Structure formats: C-alpha cells, structure tokens
Structure 1
Amino acid sequence: MKWDLKELRGHVKRLFGEEQLRTVNQCLRTIGDRRELSRYHFNEAKDRMEGALQGRETFELTAALLGAFDTDDRQFSAARFQAYAHTVACIQNMHAVVDNMVHFAYYVLGANLDPATRIEKERDITWSKVSKKLIAGPIKVGLSALLDDPGFTYLAALSNHSKHRSIVEVSYSVNFESDAVEHGLRFNPFTYDGVTYPTKWVRSTLIDEYQRQEGLILTIGNAVNNELRDRS
C-alpha cells in the first residue's frame, strides 16, 4: 500500500491554506523521522550484538555471554549496553509516533480552524480529546486500532515505566529449552499501572509492533486523502 503525499498536500493547501500546510508538513516530517529513527536504532542494537557474538556457534553462546571470547575488558558488556541504549531509543520513537499521528489527524482535518472542534491548549491535543472531535469513519477507526492493541499497550507501558519510574532492563539471554535454541535481547518483566508484563524477546516484540504500525499509518493516511478529496 502507498500513500500519495503530494495529493494530500494539495488538498490541505486548497482547503486550509499555506499556514495550515506548513503545520501538516511538520507533522508528516516528524512521523517519517520517527519511523526512520525506530528502524535505525533497532538495526544498530541488532548489529552491536551480532558484532559481539562474532558468528559464534550455539554451544558457544553461554561462553560468549560470560566474556570468554572478549579481546579486551568488558567487550561483550559494552556491546550489550550499546544495544540496550539503541533499544530504549527505538521504544521511545515507536511510542511517540502514535501521539504524532493524533496531532497529524487533528491538523490535517482542519479541526484547529473550526471553533466547534478546536482544542484551546496544545498540550490537550491527546487521543482522549481528539477522538471526541472526529466523526465516525475510517480515520477514527484506524486511529483507534493504532492505540487499542495489546502490542501497543505493552509498548506504551514499557515506555511510560521507563520514562517516569525506571528504565525496564534489557538483558541478553540464551534459551536452550525450545527445540531451536533462542538467544538475544529480552525485556525483563515489569509491572505498570497494576498490570504485570512478562519477559519478552526484544526482536520479535519490536518487529511485530513496527509492522503493525506501518500498515495502520498507511491505512489512516489513505483514509485522510479520501476524506479531503470529497470536501468541496
């Protein structure tokens, strides 16, 4: 699926003018940057760990974890911390892009220009308030799906716990209990807002949520194009 941004910008300029288009362009740039930053930090985390393991065989993973193959002091530990730092940055960007989508919807539909839908304080442009200003339809459904999903609920809890209380630890683990040996970074268990979240593998958790967001962002974007195209 593609999203025709040239068409979108044409509709915004036609309906709302140059100043509104500048605001919408800022939203679009940020959404694109957040996606690129998420991908960049994810790949950097993966590369740091792959470099530290140096293609070791399965039976060597525990020894590598203990630093048996380090060529200098704390080589594996340093790589793990770098991967941890990139993972935290990836989480923050994947969490923030959903807020950016809410702001995008608010401005691209011209809600700030209509007294009936305007939200006076910028800090109040949140999903709980914006959702009340949107008419029922594909845009509202898409945004609801973006936020109301177990994958995003976990990501939001992970990000908010790390932001407000303490960063959820990311450890390197080797699991010999499954048929195929699993190894990689894992989020440690944590409790947020009364809910306990289990240990999860970083790679599969972030890939699944990234791909889910990608599809919904394109769906919402095309729904916006359709909505604006039909406006006189």
Structure 2
Amino acid sequence: MKKEIWNIEQTRELVISRFGEDQLELAKPSLQSVNDRLTFSKFHYLEINSLFSAFKSSHLGEGETILGLSESAEKEYFQMMLKIGAHAVACLQSLHSVGDILANAIYFSIGMNLSLHPLKDREISIYSVQKKLKGIPEFNEITTEIDLLLESNEYLYLVAATNSSKHRNLVPPNITEDWTGSKLKLHEITFEPFIHAGKSYMRCPIEEPLKPVFEKFSKLIVNSGNTINSYLIKI
C-alpha cells in the first residue's frame, strides 16, 4: 500500500498563484518547520531508547538490577539519565509545538490573514485556527481529526507535561524495575508522577503519551496538507 504524502511544493506553487509571492513568504517558514519539528521529536525519542539500550547491553544482563551496579557503572547511569532527561524534555516540547506550527501553515497557506478579521500573530494556535476552519466545509474532516487529537488523553498529558516543564518543574524520566515478574519488561523508561493545574498525573511509560500523539500528528499533517492543496485548487 502506497504511503500518502503531502506535496508541499505544490502547496507553495498554489499559494503563489492564488495570493502572490508575499503570501508565500508568510507561509513558507511554517510549511518547512512543521515537518522539521515532528522529525526532531522522533529523533529525541529514538535517542532515549538508544542510550538506554546501549547501557543495558553493557551493564544490565539477564536479571541484573540497577541497585547492583558497580561504582563506575553507577556513574555512567547518572550520565545516561542526564542525557535521557534532556532528550525527553526536548521531545515533549518539539511534539507539543507541532500543533501551533501546523496551525500557522494552514492559516497563511489558505490566506486567512487576508480576511476582514485576521488573527494577531500571537493569537494563531491550533485552537484558534481550528475554530476558523469550522466555517469552511472543505476542512470538516480536518477539524474532526483535530478534535480527536485535542481531546485525547495522550495529548492532554503531553500538554500538561510540557507546560509543567516550561513553567514550573521538569517532568523527569526515570528507569523503573519490575521485581514482581508481572510485567513483560524488567526495566522500563517512565515519566515520573507530577501535578499540573491541580490535576495529578500518574507515572507512565514514556511511549504511552508520545507514540500515539506522534502518530496522530503524522497523519494530521499529511491530511491537512492535502486538504490545503485541494482547497486552493478550487478557489
């Protein structure tokens, strides 16, 4: 089955043909950045797993625990956790930013800024642009897709963890060990519990919020891009 893609070059050409070169200059940075940010989030996620896999291969054989590490291995462990923490925060922030960057890409590509009541730059977000898109029938499927993303537990977790890390305290990753034998994995990378806006968030494996949100954004970006192109061809 052929993987669906977004022809961004076609988007650029259509923006020029409908609105001119100046409009493309407004849209172009976000058109580039939306895929870059998603790629960055994937890079950081893969680095987290790569770092831990290398450490496990060197120091955690079958049934060995972190508590039994030698002094030198323990130093390596703390160095690894520092790197994993940096990648985890960067992954959260990159993934969280995708929505607003996509909103900017849509907003300027279809000329929303040329309307009688344009948004101020600081007002452009996934929420404000989605609201405007609900008045355009061609974007009905996209607004439904955005609704499903924004209302998902994984996205709400991502937003809370990112905002907590930005404004109050980091949501640190940790390595948990299952000594009960009830889990498939002896060792697991998790986000620690935290509280944000009065709500408690439990410890969870890092892939639980990150992978579903990444997959939803990957699909949403392609579908949005193709809808932009279809819409610009019609108008």
TM-score by length of 1: 0.89
1:92 maps to 2:93: yes
Q: 1:113 is matched by which residue type in structure 2? A: L
Match of 2:50 in 1: 47
Percent same amino acid at aligned positions? 28
- The 3 A distance-change label for structure 1 pair 67 and 21 is farther
Equivalent position to 1:154, from 143, 157, 160: 157
- The 3 A distance-change label for structure 1 pair 126 and 162 is same
Name the SS for the 1:196 alignment partner.
strand
CA distance in 1, matches of 2:183, 2:191: 21
Match of 1:77 in 2: 78
Match of 1:191 in 2: 195
User: What is the Cα deviation at residue 126 of structure 1?
Assistant: 2.6
1:221 maps to 2:225: yes
Cα deviation, 1:42-73, whole Å, max 9, x if unaligned, reads 1111111112222633411x1xx236256466
Pairs within 5 Å for 1:203-214: 203-214=207-218
1:170 maps to 2:173: yes
Name the SS for the 1:115 alignment partner.
coil
CA distance in 2, matches of 1:220, 1:52: 40
Deviates more, 1:149-158 or 1:169-178: 169-178
List runs of 5+ in structure 1 lacking aligned partners: none
- The 3 A distance-change label for structure 1 pair 212 and 175 is farther
List runs of 5+ in structure 2 lacking aligned partners: none
Question: Structure with the greater relative contact order (CA < 8 A, sep ≥ 6): 1 or 2?
Answer: 2
What is the number of residues matched between the two proteins? 226
TM-score by length of 2: 0.88
Match of 1:131 in 2: 130
Q: 2:125 is matched by which residue type in structure 1? A: T
1:10 maps to 2:13: yes
Cα deviation, 1:115-142, whole Å, max 9, x if unaligned, reads 24x11x2111134433332224233333
Cα deviation, 1:131-170, whole Å, max 9, x if unaligned, reads 3322242333333333232211110011011111101121
